[in-house]
Amino acid sequence: MNYTQEEKEAFMREALREAERALKNDEIPIGCVIVKDGKIIGRGHNAREELERAVMHAEIMAIEAANAHENSWRLLDTTLFVTIEPCVMCSGAIGLARIPQVVYGAKNQKFGAAGSLYDILTDERLNHRVAVETGILEEECAKIMQDFFRNRRKKK
Amino acid sequence: MNYTQEEKEAFMREALREAERALKNDEIPIGCVIVKDGKIIGRGHNAREELERAVMHAEIMAIEAANAHENSWRLLDTTLFVTIEPCVMCSGAIGLARIPQVVYGAKNQKFGAAGSLYDILTDERLNHRVAVETGILEEECAKIMQDFFRNRRKKK
């Protein structure tokens, strides 16, 4: 779907609200929403520590919710909004769920797999390619992460 | 842990039993077990179609089970046995779960991310590296896959 800049920012703000839920639990603050026909069909935030589940990144939680909502593993015609560039696991999961479009806020130079370390989403050898857009509410998405890590270093 | 060849084959046979459970549901037959101190603490098989969950590969199901068993997202001191080379998503998940050792049966030239398309598990830029061994019960692990795809082509 082609969303306007204003719509994209509104969905990214919802992803940021999810990131804040992670922050409240003292988790790395990343949030995600999956949108179909202009409606959110799955939401997620990083909950690894809270749930003691290694795979429970924001994107995985949102994909699981959207799969349940659609009663289908295929998330055709959806757009995934996530505050930070997806890691290797989540980039693989986005392809496996057949999500055609990803919008992320800020890059993750250290672990990102949608352009930084790897470019999984556009790899022509894999059987699903994803349109990727970045930079939506970039500063806010980066800032909540920077603040989190700064506070964590202070506590130590 | 250092397991003997005989022990490795016994654990891979358990992974093959899981693959057969997937096969019974007409799913791509891949199975996985996670072992700690010689005991299986998590089992999984591909259940994408059965559960309508895009991320429900054998390795993810086994990691989720092992996380629940240990009540921890960290699967330190474990070995993951899987019949087929892990994909991008599962290789990412193995690293995120801090699994130190992976043994897989047969390569996946098309989608494998532990040596074939990518080499995620030994990437020095990521903050967790995994010792990888392959070739345990390779023929049996490959054969159950080949038979499945041959039958599927026949049905079409």
* Arithmetic mean of pLDDT over chain A: 96
Per-residue pLDDT at B1 exceeds 80: no
* Residues of chain A in Cβ contact (below 8 Å) with chain B: 48-49, 51-57, 60, 63-64, 67-68, 71-75, 87-93, 95-98, 111, 113, 117-118, 120, 123, 125-126
- CB proximity list for A84: less than 8 A, separation 6 or greater: A30, A104, A105, A106, A107, A108, A112, A141, A142, A145
Position B23 in a domain: yes
Per-residue pLDDT at A156 exceeds 80: no
Position B56 in a domain: yes
Share of chain B above pLDDT 90, in %: 92
Residue B70 lies in domain: 5-151
Q: With a threshold of 0.95, does the pTM exceed it?
A: yes
- Residues of chain B contacting residue A88, judged by C-beta atoms under 8 Å apart: 88-89, 91-92, 95, 113, 120, 126
CATH of residue A41: 3.40.140.10
Of A48, A64, A96, the CB nearest to B73: A48
Q: How far apart are the C-alpha atoms of B79 and A33, rounded to whole Å? A: 34
**What is the structure's pLDDT at B57?**
98
Position A156 in a domain: no
Least confident residue range of B75-89, B100-114, B121-135: B121-135
